[in-house]
Amino acid sequence: MAGKKDSISLLCVGDIMPGGVLPYQDRYMAGDVLDYMRQFDLRIGTLECGVGTDLPFDEVKFRDDMSNIYVRNEDLFRLQELDINVVTLANNHAFDLGLAGYENAVRQLDQLGIQYCGAGHNREEAGRPAVVRIKGKTLAFLGCMIDPPCVRMYHVASETDFGVFQVGIEELVKTVAELKTQYDYVFVLPHWGVEHTYYPPVDCKQQAMRLIDAGADAVIGSHPHLVNPVVRYKGKYIYYSMGNFLFPDKCIQAPRPMYYPASAEECHALKRVWTYPYRVQGPVVAVWRGRNRIGMMVELQLGRRKRIASRYRLTQLTAENVLMAYSSCLFRLRMRVLGVLMKLPRYYIVRRLLISKYNLFSGVLDKSKACNIAVEAEDYEHIG
């Protein structure tokens, strides 16, 4: 789909945190994945972390023992290697290093020539889309979080205070309709849903349809850290969650903040554990489970008469934290089935069954090879 001269090709990827254990290994991505990404005119992702070297953690979040995730300034070069053009900062980790971390992040992104949206010093700034002009067309990317939030947030932008763009659906619908009068294409990038869950809440389904009705050309979501269903509605595509893209394992210390060991030897000597949603007693490498290591790369082809074609490819982050292409007929079948179920008028009943303890469906889904990457796990005190 990529590379047609008479159209605009976009590649949207999921959550990106280009640090963690990556500085302590020789490679982080297969060459064929990089070659594939570079075929597109634009690449868009979610930068889900604070950015800064030797900056203090956000006081409020640190006091509540919540995860503090960040990359150092020197880690951001990977965004440039990936040729990422636009990132949304509307997520629950954008301010993990406080206002100083946000200001540093946008300064670093400006230096790299990467546009951003979804956060700001105030609500007006946070609600501005990133606008790209290409091949005679204007494309607007709007990063947001939608009320009622499924995500616990610490910094929501107000008229006078910094934070992410969190907005009610009524106002967001009006914003999308207005943007559609100003730009040729409008893409909404919501950070929503429930972490570590395959099945989007009913609110997300209703919100996505209203955004399409208002003029959005696609809705492309993030946050669950799992790939969620794809639904086509009125000829346009809703990707509820693309899962993780380049979001490697990370070193953390008590109670849960990230840190960067002084050497590769120190990093490799740490115990590897599954920590979510637990606190830890000492330094460890917090690893993703196999199911969280599968992500989605979404292709959007903007053709004549504003028709949009779409398809997706899958990626897998190996146990060695190398991103590779991934293929699974079982996984794609699951995606298709879930997409059909989401279209049912009484999806709320279906979802209630899917998330219940009697659901065997998820167990079947996780039988694929990539979902069964073995990691050493250890239980810690639950923080609720």
Q: Is residue 377's pLDDT more than 50?
A: no
Nearest to 53 by CA among 103, 85, 101: 101
Contact residues for 184 (Cβ-Cβ < 8 A; gap 6+): 137, 138, 139, 306
Q: Is residue 384's pLDDT more than 60?
A: no
Q: Mean pLDDT over residues 258-264, rounded?
A: 96
Does the domain made of 8-248+288-371 have the CATH classification 1.20.210.10? no
pLDDT score for 373: 52
pLDDT score for 355: 82
Q: Mean pLDDT over residues 61-70, rounded?
A: 82
pLDDT in tens, 100-141: 999 999 999 999 999 999 999 999 999 999 999 999 999 999
pLDDT score for 371: 53
Band (376; pLDDT cuts 50, 70, 90): very low
Q: Mean pLDDT over residues 193-206, rounded?
A: 93
Q: Mean pLDDT over residues 299-303, rounded?
A: 96
Q: Is residue 195's pLDDT more than 80?
A: yes
Contact residues for 1 (Cβ-Cβ < 8 A; gap 6+): 9, 299, 301, 309, 311
Band (298; pLDDT cuts 50, 70, 90): very high
pLDDT in tens, 336-365: 999 999 999 999 998 988 887 666 555 555
Q: What proportion of the chain, given as a percentage, has pLDDT over 70?
A: 90
How many CA atoms are closer than 13 Å to the CA of 275, on its beta-carbon side? Answer: 25
Do the bridges between strand 294-302 and strand 308-317 make them parallel or antiparallel, or are there none, so unpaired? antiparallel
Are 342 and 220 in contact by the 8 Å Cβ rule? The answer is: no
Q: Which comes out higher in pLDDT, residue 364 or 215? A: 215
Q: Is residue 259's pLDDT more than 70?
A: yes
Average pLDDT, the chain: 90
pLDDT in tens, 40-49: 999 999 999 9
Number of Cβ within 10 Å of residue 318's Cβ equals: 13
Spatial separation of the C-alpha atoms in residues 244 and 257, rounded to whole Å = 20
Contact residues for 276 (Cβ-Cβ < 8 A; gap 6+): 195, 196, 286
Q: Is residue 221's pLDDT more than 90?
A: yes
305: left (phi over 0), alpha (psi -120 to 50) or beta: left
Q: Is residue 277's pLDDT more than 60?
A: no
Q: Mean pLDDT over residues 252-269, rounded?
A: 92
Q: Mean pLDDT over residues 312-335, rounded?
A: 93
Spatial separation of the C-alpha atoms in residues 88 and 46, rounded to whole Å = 5
Q: What proportion of the chain, given as a percentage, has pLDDT over 90?
A: 75
Q: Mean pLDDT over residues 313-336, rounded?
A: 93
Q: Point out the least confidently predicted range of 14-23, 355-364, 366-375.
A: 366-375
Distance of CA 365 to the CA centre of its chain: 21
Q: Which residue has the tokens 């590897």?
A: 272
Spatial separation of the C-alpha atoms in residues 109 and 344, rounded to whole Å = 42
Q: Mean pLDDT over residues 39-68, rounded?
A: 91
Q: Is residue 29's pLDDT more than 80?
A: yes
How many CA atoms are closer than 13 Å to the CA of 356, on its beta-carbon side? Answer: 8
pLDDT score for 357: 65
Q: Mean pLDDT over residues 266-290, rounded?
A: 84
